[in-house]
Amino acid sequence: MEEITLMLVDDHDVVRTGLRSYLETQPGMRVVAEARNGAEALKIVTSTRPQIVLMDITMPDMDGLEATRRLKAQVPECLVLALTVHEDKQYFMEMLAAGASGYLTKQAAADELVAAIHAVAGGNIYLQPALARWLLEDYQRLARQVGIQPRVQEEEPDEGVVGLDALSARERQVLELVAQGLSNHDIGAKLDLSHKTIARHRERIMAKLKMHSRTELVKFAIRTGLISLE
Q: For the chain, give every domain's residue range.
A: 4-131, 160-230
Span 7-36, pLDDT tens digits = 999 999 999 999 999 999 999 999 999 999
Span 149-202, pLDDT tens digits = 544 444 444 445 567 888 888 999 999 888 887 788 888 888 988 888 888 888
CA distance 83 to 56: 5
pLDDT: which is higher, 6 or 218: 6
User: What pLDDT, on a 0 to 100 scale, did the predictor assign at position 152?
Assistant: 43
HEC per residue, the chain: CCCEEEEEECCCHHHHHHHHHHHCCCCCEEEEEEECCHHHHHHHHHHHCCCEEEECCCCCCCCHHHHHHHHHHHCCCCEEEEEECCCCHHHHHHHHHHCCCEEEECCCCHHHHHHHHHHHHCCCCEECHHHHHHHHHHHHHHHHHHCCCCCCCCCCCCCCCCCHHHCCHHHHHHHHHHHCCCCHHHHHHHHCCCHHHHHHHHHHHHHHHCCCCHHHHHHHHHHCCCCCCC
User: What pLDDT, on a 0 to 100 scale, did the predictor assign at position 156?
Assistant: 43
CA distance 196 to 203: 11
Identity of residue 91: Y
Mean pLDDT of 110-133: 86
Mean pLDDT of 89-96: 86
Mean pLDDT of 69-96: 91
* Residue 7 bridge partners (DSSP): 33, 53
Span 38-49, pLDDT tens digits = 999 999 999 999
Q: Are 4-131 and 160-230 equal in CATH topology?
A: no
**Which percentage of the chain shows pLDDT scores above 90?**
45
Output the average pLDDT for the chain. 85
CATH classification code of 4-131: 3.40.50.2300
Write down the architecture of domain 160-230 according to CATH: Orthogonal Bundle (1.10)
Span 201-220, pLDDT tens digits = 888 898 888 887 777 788 88
